[in-house]
Amino acid sequence: MKKMEETAILCVDDDKLVLDSLRLQLTRHFDSQYVLEFAQDAEEALELIGQLADDGIRTVLIISDWIMPGINGDEFLIEVKKRYPHIRTMILTGQADEVKVQELREMNVTNSILSKPWNEQIFVRTIDRLLSDI
């Protein structure tokens, strides 16, 4: 069954293998509910958000890597929150700096932080929780 308004989940990671894993897991659990999009850097992701909006599709969740070439995930999500405060965000990281994690939480830059490698069940439950009231 199709929703009244199409909504999207956008994943951003410079590692193609990580994007492939995200694509597989998101397709398995959310393909019928959301448009799924994937970008390999922050600039491409920002363009995709605009393109989706132009097509009448509202981005509701961004899942972003933290450490990326060019614009890091935290800088990217700060920009996203300025432009699109309604978008929920999740950071995936293999290199969590606890001080920086706390700063991001206090700044309301991200709604969730998961460590790589992640557990698929926890990943899916976290997404369900983040999107439960949209």
> pLDDT band at 117, cuts 50/70/90?
very high
Residue 8's CB: how many other CB atoms inside 10 A? 20
Please give the Cα distance from 11 to 19 (Å, whole number).
7
Residues above pLDDT 70, as percent of the chain: 96
| Domain range annotation of the chain | 7-129
Average pLDDT over residues 21-31: 97
- Of 14, 3, 2, 6, residue with least CA distance to 76: 14
Residue 93's CB: how many other CB atoms inside 10 A? 19
C-beta of residue 63 within 8 angstroms of C-beta of residue 25: no
Domain 7-129 homologous superfamily, CATH: Response regulator (3.40.50.2300)
Identify the pLDDT of residue 1.
Answer: 39
Query: Does pLDDT of 54 surpass 50?
Result: yes
